[in-house]
């Protein structure tokens, strides 16, 4: 999930979102800001992080720490607020944008509370500022060459559905058979000639053979849930019309809801079969 990196202008509380390779008007806006001589800056999320959280962290002297501990000047409090406002307008390269807006809004509101001198504002900021939780959701992993590696967690939690061929639907509509393409392993015994103490003899040596096959998956209708390419449940007559021997469907071998990342690649009339766990019935 790659998004354009958005650069953000932070200028004494006046914030202008600018795209990295933005259009002429935006570039001009950026230059005007520079030439007007204020302390404007164009910042990426990484740069905001460093300014807000980094220098002096081990000595508890980072900007956020001074604000939380009540050791910051009013200027510094406003500076932290401006940085969080810029953060809220930025787009992370990982994670859901709606979620990002929610998390960063909480940070902005907490920093506003500090600037306004509200009671318990520092405590609220401390709660809103959860480095680890935010990084787990939104911080991309960079390789040695600077390229981004996607977060693997979502892919592990919700396995990708696989293509399957509807083999058979029982007359009473209680059972469904699918063909899926699987690697099947079989053990074979090979005759191998071994020589010991000058004598030759043959020995049976086991060997694994791997072969791709269309294997059968038998499903009870009451143990599956079927959704279309928009994630809506398909059931009843509508399901039977669309679920016929010879059709290609998708089969997800788990009871997780089909992730929206997969659904958005599907035609709206695609069918995705998932399992229902006994306990969710
Ligand atoms: C609202 C979410 C959020 C919170 C809260 C947050 N971070 Fe980050 N941080 C990010 C994201 C996203 C990145 C990755 C930016 C990128 O490189 O694209 C990041 C990157 C960083 C980096 C690397 C910056 C660089 O480019 O070298 C540091 C250091 C950092 N964060 C420190 C912290 C610390 C310390 C805290 C807690 C006091 C914290 N962050 C809280 C979202 C957050």
Domain boundaries, the chain: 6-151, 157-184+211-280
Q: Alpha helices of the chain — where are they, by DSSP H?
A: 24-35, 45-53, 63-69, 74-89, 97-115, 121-128, 131-138, 153-157, 236-242, 260-263
Please give the order of strands across the beta sheet that includes 224-228. 199-220, 175-196, 162-169, 248-252, 271-275, 224-228
What does the pLDDT read at residue 41? 55
pLDDT for 14-69, tens place per residue?
A: 444 443 333 333 333 333 333 333 333 579 999 999 999 999 999 999 999 999 99
Q: Looking at residue 260, what is its pLDDT?
A: 86
109 pocket-lining for ligand 1 (C-beta < 6 Å):
no
> What pLDDT, on the 0 to 100 scale, is given for residue 278?
61
Phi, psi of 92 (to 5 degrees): -75, 155
Residue 30 alpha carbon to ligand 1 centre in Å: 24
The reply to whether ligand 1 has any atom less than 6 angstroms from the CB of 138 is yes
pLDDT at 154: 73
């Amino acid at each position: 999930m790659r998004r354009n990196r958005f650069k953000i202008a932070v200028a004494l509380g006046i914030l202008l979102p600018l795209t990295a390779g933005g259009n002429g008007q935006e570039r001009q806006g950026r230059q005007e800001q520079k030439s007007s001589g204020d302390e404007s800056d164009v910042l990426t999320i990484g740069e905001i992080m460093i300014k807000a959280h980094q220098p002096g962290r081990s000595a508890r002297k980072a900007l956020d720490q001074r604000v939380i501990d009540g050791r910051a000047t009013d200027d510094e409090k406003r500076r932290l607020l401006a940085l969080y406002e810029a953060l809220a307008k930025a787009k992370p390269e990982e994670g859901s944008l709606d979620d990002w807006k929610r998390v960063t809004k909480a940070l902005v509101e907490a920093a506003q509370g500090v600037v306004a001198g509200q009671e318990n504002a520092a405590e609220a900021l401390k709660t809103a500022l959860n480095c680890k939780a935010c990084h787990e959701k939104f911080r991309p992993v960079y390789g040695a060459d600077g390229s981004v590696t996607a977060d693997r967690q979502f892919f592990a939690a919700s396995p990708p559905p696989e293509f399957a061929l509807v083999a058979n639907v029982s007359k009473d509509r209680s059972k469904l058979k699918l063909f899926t393409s699987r690697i099947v392993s079989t053990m074979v015994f090979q005759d191998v000639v071994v020589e010991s103490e000058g004598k030759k003899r043959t020995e049976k040596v086991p060997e694994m053979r791997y072969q791709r096959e269309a294997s059968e998956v038998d499903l009870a209708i009451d143990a599956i849930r079927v959704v279309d390419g928009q994630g809506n449940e398909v059931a009843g007559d509508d399901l039977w019309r669309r679920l016929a021997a010879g059709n290609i469907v998708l089969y997800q071998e788990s009871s997780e809801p089909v992730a929206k990342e997969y659904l958005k690649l599907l035609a709206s009339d695609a069918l995705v079969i998932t399992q229902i766990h006994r306990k969710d019935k």
